[in-house]
């Protein structure tokens, strides 16, 4: 079957965007929500069909000798720089793309459907759905890219969609600031990304993924470029810079500061963009270039990925302990889980059983998208009911919101790695892979598994148990359009762990054999349960244990609560150094030195004119005087020189 | 040709008269004074013509004729200038050049 | 009458028609018709040009005409266009029309205003079609002089000061340029033959290297001042701040392009050795312009100043790309010229629209305008995004060409220059988002609650600019093909040095 229908995956969302965007005054609530949901639903169906075709091998060229291939369903030159170097626009389908073709439209569809109810009565209702479509378009474009420059293009587009959606409540100063921060921080990371792409293009000679993932090509690069700086080759440096872009989008330490603030956006946006899809773009990017990352300089760049991932996962988990805003807890949890995926990629080998980390990372990406979106949508449902983001205003909600309660519990269990839910399977694979490669990283992963269980159940118990505060309005369960997505995602959370990922998504496209490593699995479940039990002990009923813990940790708690002052550091650098010490002086310099010297030339001319104006007095006697002086001078000259 | 007096003495005399005239023209503020200074300049020139004619080309007379012209024109010019000066004096009651700058504005 | 001279004649006819027109409403209608005709002509030209290329004509310049003007000095009225001039003419015609719409409400001496606007356009068209140095210079001056009157009479703020400054700096540059032109002229017979102003005849001559080293900087600075080269950019913030909206649009959108165009068409084409000799020096100035314009824009508070500094930054990129001297960078430079033309004039149009309503350009005094004027706000956000190089708009395609071109020099000097230039994408994002965040978003201010919505002529003026920015951004290959083919004959001299 001809696969050019895949273009529809991109065309429908962008059409939706223009349809809703151009008519944002004419199309009213709830029509726009329904249009958006229906069209994204269509996109989702086509995407599922594509993924199905690909995985079953029905797509032409998808499987050769039992190995999944990269399939270009279309590819045209967009900007040509030289014969080998050009930016193409096309559609690439391979296992990770096909997987993302399930994740992105699913979550997007759920977010759209959920928003029909959630955004009820907002003034920019239609605008919201237009933005969601724009984001879906950009994200799908990103995952379908055939070359790294195309990824960069859609990378910027998702950045802008994210900016627009975070700043959706644009009359709220904090939302505007958060949007700006998100865009600028990721833009800064993209500066590295772009430099990396340029380096890769110049030294590597191609941006095309088929070329870049070709092992022979990687081998030739390995031969061609020796160490240039700090013992690493120029290609490795390019990869590290590219990873900087990925770290920016995926909120890895130290470029994570925008993610917590991004929670200013409406909750479906947080679920879609800042939990399930856009933030995993960095993971996707590393996975895309996995061959290069793994083979160049024996995986030096990949080691960077592993350690950045490990640091971020631990760092975020600690902060998540202390936050009171439930969306922020989830944001740090997201950062932590993405760090998990990064470290899994970092410890992975390329083929066979060594490639377990890659597979596990993708698996976790998939399952995480489901349960984290569920958690966010659940949080949105809660926020909708109690009109607050803070735990202090919540408690005992299990009685009022049964569906939200059950689905939230399922997601929390899944993220804590309780079998047989999705999180258990993917997390277990990650820990096995880490154990094979690097004990330190395994230790971090193991501890974080326990911490995750603790802070998630702190959240759960604090929201649904604890003591009831005095609710002004009695909370009630949300409308159907909001609860259906919760149920769908809960089902996905339960079943997605059983998807045979090891047969579908691997680094080299071939199947790998996996088996449950019961020792590791048992240990990870145990640590998860310990976390849950501690949380239950501390938060099930109202008590003062957590207060005592808090004062026990003292300064450390304060530091963690303030997110280890990283924001303050950035603020100091940007406001005090870049604004005050560079920008303002530049502007001053421009006015008072450059411009003044230009004006000085003009004023100098005027000044000289003023001075010599007196010569033109109109008096015959003066003129005679000048004339005679001139004669005398010339006479003198003749006298002395001739 | 005056015995015992070479052309140099006469030329020196005319130069001195010329520069007295120039000095007077530049420094005098009074119009009559300036006019007199101009007369001095013209006279020194006339003197030069006569002297050079007499000493260098005794058989020619163009220098003498030129001097006559100069004297005639100087007389005419003086007459004209005096007429203007008298009119100016009637108008501004002063002959000082500094006070006569009304036309400049 | 040939197809190119019409571009000078139609504006002249428009001016004559305006002189005999009476009635406030008729002036703008006549102007709109005149610029509409120009727009149609420009697209007809593009169409004819593509058709003639399609038919297999590979001449460097097409539609050439040559009339003797001053026989004794061998000055010709020589005209002809290649792909780049055609695109520049198209840009001009679009911005002139958009500017006419944006100036719909000029009431004060409207007739004279439109007359000068059209004269300015005529000068620009003439500049783009000339292939004789002298004719080109004449048209250049025709374009610069009306600017003085337009700013001095219809401007705001310290308009006389700004007009004077702008004109004097540009005149100073013209003086240098004139010296360079005569330098070329008097060296045009070193291989025998007659002295000539025709650039193609001069390009056949081997101008002595010493002369090139002497005259290249004069020609370069002469053109680069109007392209806002650091440190000769200071006329730009003041000039733009004082100029009326349509004039800012034309000036930033079109006139500043004469700089890059002139450097490309004359300075580098005729003096390749000089270009190589001086490239590193000017590259440093250009990259300072890029980084410094962006950084200085961060702490400005006046809308027009922000945009003026942004122009310094973006046009620094054009000069930088030209100095990189390879095909990709040059294509980027030309795309950037076009792109900046559309985007910055869109910006100035929007600033004019906002200023016309709020009567302030101080960003600290505005806020929440998006709620009151959603379409203007949206356009503003679009303009901001286009300006910071979002894919899908023209700026992205242009900048990527420049960066890739710049990256083709592997030595340390060029690498550092490139990195500084690329870092401007971050700074640009900072000041654009700060701007958009301050004036469009945030709480609604009480005093602006009753501002009127966008009018039809403002829509017409701005939509066409957005449209073209997107056309370049989404279909860069169409434009690059035209540009590439036009660059080839011009870059050969440079590449072979």
C63-84 pLDDT, tens digit per residue, is 888 888 888 888 888 888 888 9
How far, in Å, CA of C166 to CA of C399, rounded? 28
- In-domain check, residue C44: yes
Mapping DSSP onto H, E and C, the string for C347-398 reads: HHHHHHHHHHHHCCCEHHHCCCHHHHCHHHHHHHHHHHHHHCCCCCCHHHHH
A30 cis-preceded (ω within 30 degrees of 0): yes
Q: What is the structure's pLDDT at B80?
A: 93
Contact check, Cβ <8 Å, C295/A153: no
How many other C-beta atoms can be found within 10 angstroms of the C-beta atom of residue B6? 11
Q: What is the pLDDT of residue A43?
A: 92
Identify the band that residue A155 occupies on the pLDDT scale cut at 50, 70 and 90.
Answer: very high
Q: Quote the strand ranges of A96-235, DSSP E.
A: 227-229, 232-233
CB contact under 8 A, C423 and A153: no
Per CB-CB distance under 8 Å, the chain A contacts of B28 are 621
Average pLDDT, integer, range C266-285: 89
- Which residues on A lie below 8 Å from B25 (Cβ)? 621, 624
Measured CA to CA, the distance from residue A172 to residue C233 in angstroms comes to 37
Closest Cα in chain B to A622: B26
What pLDDT, on a 0 to 100 scale, did the predictor assign at position A360? Answer: 87
Residue of chain A whose Cα is closest to the Cα of C306: A587
CA A573 to chain centre: 23
C467 by Cβ neighbours in 10 Å (0-12 / 13-18 / 19+) ranks as: exposed
Q: Which of A468-477, B28-37, C13-22, C108-117 has the lowest mean pLDDT?
A: A468-477
What's residue C208's pLDDT?
Answer: 86
Kindly report the pTM of this predicted structure: 0.87
Per-residue pLDDT tens digits for C90-99: 999 999 888 8
Tokens of A77: 């030159």
Q: Does A157 touch chain C (CB under 8 A)?
A: yes
Angstrom distance (rounded) from CA A456 to CA A461 = 9
Q: Residue C68: what are its φ and ψ, rounded to 5°?
A: -70, 140
| Binding-face residues of C in 300-319 toward A, CB within 8 A | 300
Calculate mean pLDDT across residues A123-145.
90
Q: How far apart are CA A202 and CA C308, in angstroms?
A: 34
Instruction: Measure in Å the smallest separation between the Cα of A616 and chain B Cα atoms.
Output: 11
pLDDT for B79: 92
Write the residue in C235, C296, C405 that is nearest to A590 by C-beta. C296
- What is the pLDDT at residue B104? 55
Contacts C410 to A, Cβ<8 Å = 202
Q: Do A628 and B26 touch (CB under 8 A)?
A: yes
- Please state, as a whole number, how many other Cβ atoms lie within 10 Å of the Cβ of residue A274: 28
Contacts of A626 in chain B (CB under 8 A): none
- Using alpha carbons only, give the angle A351, A353, A358 rounded to the nearest 5 degrees: 65
Distance of CA A78 to the CA centre of its chain: 26
Tokens of A225: 């470029």
Decide: helix, strand or coil at residue C300: coil
Percentage of chain C beyond pLDDT 90 is: 13
Chain A window 603-632: which residues touch B at a Cβ cutoff of 8 Å? 618-619, 621, 624-625, 628
Residue A584 to chain B, least CA–CA distance (Å): 50
Residue C102 is predicted with a pLDDT of 84
Q: Do B and A make contact, counting contact as 3+ CB pairs within 8 angstroms?
A: yes
Whose tokens are 């949007």? That residue is A179
pLDDT, average across residues A466-478: 76
**What domains can you pick out in chain B, each with its CATH number?**
7-100 (1.10.287.3510)
C166: helix, strand or coil: helix
Residues 6+ apart with CB under 8 A from C438: C363, C364, C366, C367
Mean pLDDT, range A174-184, rounded to an integer: 88
Q: Which domain holds residue C433?
A: 6-495
Yes or no, beta carbons of C400 and A154 under 8 Å apart: no
The separation between the first and the last C-alpha atoms of chain A, rounded to the nearest angstrom, is 102
Mean pLDDT (chain A) is 85
CB contact under 8 A, C422 and A180: no
Query: Are chains B and C in contact at 3+ CB pairs closer than 8 Å?
Result: no
In this model, does residue C30 exceed pLDDT 90?
no
The predicted model gives A289-305 an average pLDDT of 86
In a domain, C1, yes or no: no
Per-residue pLDDT at A193: 92
> What stretches of C408-447 show up as alpha helix (H) in DSSP?
412-439
**How far is residue A19's CA from residue A23's CA, in Å, rounded to a whole number?**
6
Select from B25, B26, B30, B84 the residue whose CB has the most chain A CBs within 10 Å, as the one to mutate to test that interface. B26
Please report the number of interchain residue pairs, chain A to chain C, with beta-carbon separation below 8 angstroms: 131
Kindly provide the b/e burial profile for residues A564-592, where b requires at least 16 CB atoms within 10 angstroms of the residue's own CB: bebbeebeeeeeeebeeebbeebbeebbe
User: Measured between alpha carbons, how far is A198 from C26 in angstroms, rounded to an integer?
Assistant: 54
* DSSP H helices in A499-594: 501-504, 518-539, 545-553, 555-561, 566-571, 584-589
Give the span between the Cα atoms of A190 and A273, in whole angstroms: 18
Cα distance between residue A12 and residue A109, in whole Å: 13
Contact assignment for B104 to A618 by CB distance below 8 Å: yes
CB C467 within 8 A of CB C90: no
Asked whether the beta carbons of residue B26 and residue A619 sit closer than 8 angstroms, the reply is no
Give residue ranges of B with CB < 8 Å to any A CB.
Answer: 22, 25-28, 34, 97, 101, 104
Q: What angle do CA A217, A219, A221 make, to 5 degrees?
A: 70
- Please give the residue of chain A at the shortest CA–CA distance from B104: A618
Residue scoring higher pLDDT (C364 or C329): C329
How far A85 CA sits from the closest chain C CA (Å)?
10
Interchain contact A14–C (C-beta under 8 A):
no
Q: At what angle do helices C327-358 and C303-324 cross, to 10 degrees?
A: 170
Check A618 against B26: CB less than 8 A apart. Answer: no
Is the Cβ–Cβ distance between A104 and A366 less than 8 Å? no
State the nearest Cα–Cα gap between B23 and chain A, in angstroms. Answer: 9
Closest residue in chain A to residue B29, using alpha carbons only: A621
For residue C391, list chain A residues with Cβ-Cβ distance below 8 A.
152-154, 156-157
Residue C296: inside a domain, yes or no?
A: yes
Retrieve residue C18's tokens: 């305006």
Q: What is the pLDDT of residues A311-361, one digit of tens each?
A: 999 988 888 888 888 888 889 999 999 998 898 888 888 877 778 888 888
For residue C430, the chain A residues in CB contact (below 8 A) are: 184
Give the per-residue pLDDT at B103. Answer: 58
Rounded Cα distance, A411 and A456, in Å = 9
Q: State how far residue C430 is from chain A, nearest Cα, in angstroms.
A: 6
Structure confidence by residue, pLDDT tens digits, C232-265? 888 888 888 888 888 888 888 888 888 889 888 8
- pLDDT of A471 reads 73
Which of residues C149 and A542 earns the better pLDDT score?
C149
Q: What is the pLDDT along chain B (105 residues), one digit of tens a residue?
A: 677 888 888 999 999 999 999 999 888 888 888 889 999 999 999 999 998 888 888 888 888 899 999 999 999 999 999 998 888 888 877 777 777 666 554
Confidence at residue A1, expressed as pLDDT on a 0 to 100 scale: 56
Cα–Cα distance for residue pair C405/C324, rounded to 1 Å:
7
Model confidence at A386: pLDDT above 80? yes
Question: pLDDT digit string (tens) for C285-317?
Answer: 999 989 888 888 888 888 888 888 898 899 999
Q: Which residues of A touch C292 (CB under 8 A)?
A: 586, 590
Q: Residue C336 — pLDDT band, cuts 50, 70, 90?
A: very high
Neighbours of C, requiring at least 3 CB pairs below 8 Å, are: A
A-contacting residues in C 399-438 (Cβ below 8 Å): 400-401, 403-405, 407-408, 410, 418-419, 422-423, 425-426, 429-430, 433-434, 437
> Per the structure block, which two tokens stand in for C151?
């700013």
Q: Considering only CA atoms, which of A181, A319, A153, A324 is closest in space to residue A248? A: A181
A10 is written with which tokens?
């991109």
Quote the crossing angle between the two packed helices C209-224 and C272-298, to the nearest 10°.
30
Q: What is the dihedral of CA C425, C426, C427, C428, to 10 degrees?
A: 50
Distances, alpha carbon A57 to alpha carbons A105, A362, C112, in Å: 21, 20, 72
β-bridge pairing C75-81 and A67-68: unpaired
How much is the average pLDDT of C450-476? Answer: 86
> How many structural domains comprise chain C?
1
Hey, is C272 helix, strand or coil? helix
Two structure tokens written together for A239 = 């990869």
Subunit partners of chain A (3 or more CB pairs within 8 A): B, C
For chain A, say whether C298 makes contact (Cβ under 8 Å).
Answer: yes
Using a CB–CB cutoff of 8 Å, tell me whether A45 touches chain B: no
Select from C405, C429, C444 the Cβ nearest to the Cβ of A171.
C444
Q: What is the mean pLDDT of residues C31-52?
A: 90
pLDDT in tens, C404-438: 999 888 888 899 999 999 988 888 988 888 888 88
Q: What residues contact residue C114 under an 8 Å CB cut-off, 6+ apart? A: C18, C27, C28, C30, C31, C100, C103, C106
Residues of B in contact with A618 (CB under 8 A): 101, 104
Flag whether pLDDT at A167 surpasses 90. Answer: no
Model pLDDT for residues A593-629, shown as the tens digit of each residue:
888 888 888 888 888 888 887 777 767 778 888 888 8
Contact between A288 and A360 under an 8 Å Cβ cutoff? The reply is no
C169 touches chain A (CB under 8 A): yes
């Amino acid at each position: 079957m001809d696969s050019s229908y895949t273009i529809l995956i991109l065309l429908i969302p962008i059409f939706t965007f223009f349809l809703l965007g151009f008519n944002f005054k004419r199309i009213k609530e709830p029509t726009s929500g329904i249009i958006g949901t229906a069209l994204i639903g269509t996109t989702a169906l086509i995407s599922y069909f594509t993924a199905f075709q690909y995985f079953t091998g029905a797509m032409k060229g998808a499987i050769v000798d039992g190995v999944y291939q990269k399939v270009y369903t279309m590819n045209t030159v967009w900007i040509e720089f030289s014969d080998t170097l050009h930016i193409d626009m096309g559609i690439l389908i391979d296992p990770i793309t096909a997987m993302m073709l399930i994740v992105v439209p699913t979550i997007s569809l759920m977010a759209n459907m959920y928003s029909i109810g959630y955004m009820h009565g907002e003034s920019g209702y239609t605008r919201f759905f237009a933005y969601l479509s724009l984001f879906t378009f950009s994200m799908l474009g990103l995952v379908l890219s055939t070359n790294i420059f195309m990824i960069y293009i859609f990378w910027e587009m998702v950045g802008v969609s994210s900016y627009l959606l975070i700043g959706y409540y644009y009359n709220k100063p904090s939302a505007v600031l958060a949007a700006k921060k998100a865009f600028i921080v990721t833009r800064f990371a993209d500066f590295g990304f772009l430099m990396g792409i340029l380096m890769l293009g110049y030294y590597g000679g191609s941006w095309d993924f088929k070329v870049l993932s070709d092992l022979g090509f990687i081998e030739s690069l390995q031969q061609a470029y020796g160490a240039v700086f700090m013992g690493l080759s120029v290609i490795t440096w390019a990869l590290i810079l590219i990873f900087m872009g990925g770290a920016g989008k995926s909120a890895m330490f130290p470029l994570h500061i925008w993610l917590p603030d991004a929670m200013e956006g409406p909750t479906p946006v947080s679920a879609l963009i800042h939990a399930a899809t856009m933030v995993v773009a960095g993971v996707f990017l590393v996975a895309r270039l996995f061959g290069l990352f793994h083979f160049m300089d024996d995986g030096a760049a990949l080691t960077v990925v592993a350690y950045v991932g490990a640091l971020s996962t631990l760092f975020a988990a600690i902060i998540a302990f202390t936050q009171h805003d439930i969306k922020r807890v989830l944001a740090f949890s997201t950062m932590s889980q993405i760090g998990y995926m990064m470290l899994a990629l970092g410890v992975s080998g390329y083929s066979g059983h060594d490639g377990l980390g890659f597979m596990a990372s993708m698996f976790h990406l998939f399952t995480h998208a489901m349960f984290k979106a569920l958690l966010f949508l659940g949080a949105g449902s809660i926020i909708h009911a109690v009109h607050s983001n803070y735990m202090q205003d919540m408690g005992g909600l299990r009685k009022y919101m049964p569906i939200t309660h059950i689905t939230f519990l399922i997601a929390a269990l899944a993220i804590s790695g309780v079998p047989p839910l999705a999180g258990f399977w993917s997390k277990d694979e990650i820990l096995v892979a880490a154990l094979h490669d690097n004990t330190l990283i395994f230790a971090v992963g193991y501890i974080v598994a326990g911490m995750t269980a603790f802070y998630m159940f702190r959240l759960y118990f604090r929201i649904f148990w604890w003591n009831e505060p005095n609710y002004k309005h009695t909370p009630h369960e949300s409308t159907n359009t909001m609860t259906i997505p919760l149920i769908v995602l809960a089902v996905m959370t339960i079943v997605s762990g059983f998807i045979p990922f090891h047969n579908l998504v691997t680094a080299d496209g071939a199947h790998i054999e996996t088996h449950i490593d019961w020792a590791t699995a048992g240990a990870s479940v145990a640590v998860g349960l310990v976390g849950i039990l501690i949380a239950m002990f501390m938060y099930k009923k109202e008590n003062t244990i957590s207060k005592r813990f808090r004062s026990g940790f003292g300064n450390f708690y304060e530091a963690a609560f303030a997110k280890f002052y990283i924001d303050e550091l950035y603020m100091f650098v940007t406001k005090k150094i870049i604004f005050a010490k560079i920008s303002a002086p530049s502007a001053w310099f421009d006015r008072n030195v450059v411009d003044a010297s230009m004006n000085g030339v003009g004023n100098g001319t005027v000044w000289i004119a003023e001075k010599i104006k007196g010569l033109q007095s109109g008096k015959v006697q003066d003129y005679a005087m000048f004339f005679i002086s001139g004669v005398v001078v010339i006479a003198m000259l003749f006298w002395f020189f001739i | 040709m005056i015995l015992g007096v070479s052309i140099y003495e006469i030329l020196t005399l005319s130069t001195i008269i010329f520069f007295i005239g120039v000095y007077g023209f530049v420094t005098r503020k009074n119009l009559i004074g300036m006019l007199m200074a101009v007369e001095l300049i013209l006279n020194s020139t006339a003197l030069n013509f006569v002297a050079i004619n007499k000493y260098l080309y005794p058989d020619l007379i163009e220098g003498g004729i030129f001097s006559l012209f100069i004297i005639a024109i100087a007389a005419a010019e003086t007459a004209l200038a005096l007429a203007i000066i008298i009119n100016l004096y009637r108008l501004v009651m002063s002959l000082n050049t500094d006070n006569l700058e009304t036309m400049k504005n | 009458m040939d197809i190119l001279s019409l571009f000078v004649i139609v504006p002249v006819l428009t001016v004559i028609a305006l002189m005999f027109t009476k009635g406030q409403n008729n002036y703008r209608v006549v102007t709109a018709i005149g610029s509409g005709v120009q727009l149609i002509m420009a697209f007809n030209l593009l169409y004819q040009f593509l058709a003639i290329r399609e038919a297999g004509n590979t001449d460097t310049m097409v539609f050439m005409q040559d009339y003797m003007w001053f026989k004794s000095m061998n000055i010709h009225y020589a005209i002809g266009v290649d792909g780049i001039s055609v695109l520049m003419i198209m840009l001009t015609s679009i911005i002139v029309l958009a500017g006419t719409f944006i100036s719909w409400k000029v009431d004060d001496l409207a007739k004279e205003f439109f007359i000068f606007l059209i004269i300015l356009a005529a000068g620009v068209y003439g500049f783009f079609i000339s292939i004789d140095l002298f004719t080109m210079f004449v048209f250049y001056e025709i374009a610069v002089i009306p600017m003085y009157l337009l700013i001095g009479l219809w401007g705001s703020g310290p308009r006389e000061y700004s007009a004077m400054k702008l004109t004097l700096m540009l005149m100073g540059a013209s003086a240098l340029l004139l010296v360079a032109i005569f330098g070329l002229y008097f060296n045009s017979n070193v291989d025998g033959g007659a002295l000539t102003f025709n650039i193609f005849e001069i390009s056949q001559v081997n101008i002595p290297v010493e002369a090139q080293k002497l005259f290249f900087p004069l020609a370069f600075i002469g053109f680069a001042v109007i392209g806002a080269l650091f440190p000769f950019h200071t006329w730009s913030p003041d000039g733009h701040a004082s100029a009326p909206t349509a004039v800012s649009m034309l000036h930033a959108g079109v006139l500043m392009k004469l700089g890059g165009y002139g450097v490309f068409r004359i300075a580098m084409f005729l003096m390749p050795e000089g270009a190589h000799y001086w490239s590193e020096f000017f590259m440093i100035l250009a990259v300072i312009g890029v980084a410094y314009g962006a950084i200085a824009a961060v702490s400005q508070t006046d809308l027009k100043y922000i945009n003026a500094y942004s122009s310094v930054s973006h046009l620094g990129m054009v000069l930088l790309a030209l100095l990189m001297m390879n095909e990709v960078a040059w294509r980027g430079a030309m795309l950037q010229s076009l792109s900046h033309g559309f985007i910055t004039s869109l910006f100035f149009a929007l600033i004019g629209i906002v200023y016309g309503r709020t009567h302030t350009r101080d960003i600290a005094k505005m806020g929440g305008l998006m709620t009151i004027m959603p379409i203007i706000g949206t356009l503003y956000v679009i303009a901001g995004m286009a300006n910071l190089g979002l894919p899908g708009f023209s700026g992205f395609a242009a900048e990527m060409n420049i960066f890739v071109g710049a990256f083709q020099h592997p030595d340390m000097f060029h690498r550092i220059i490139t990195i500084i230039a690329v870092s401007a994408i971050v700074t640009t994002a900072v000041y654009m988002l700060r701007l958009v965040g301050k004036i469009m978003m945030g709480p609604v201010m009480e005093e602006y609650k009753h501002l009127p919505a966008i009018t039809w002529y403002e829509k017409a003026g701005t939509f066409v600019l957005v449209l073209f920015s997107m056309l370049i951004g989404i279909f860069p290959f169409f434009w690059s093909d035209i540009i590439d083919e036009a660059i080839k004959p011009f870059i050969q001299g440079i590449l072979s040095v």
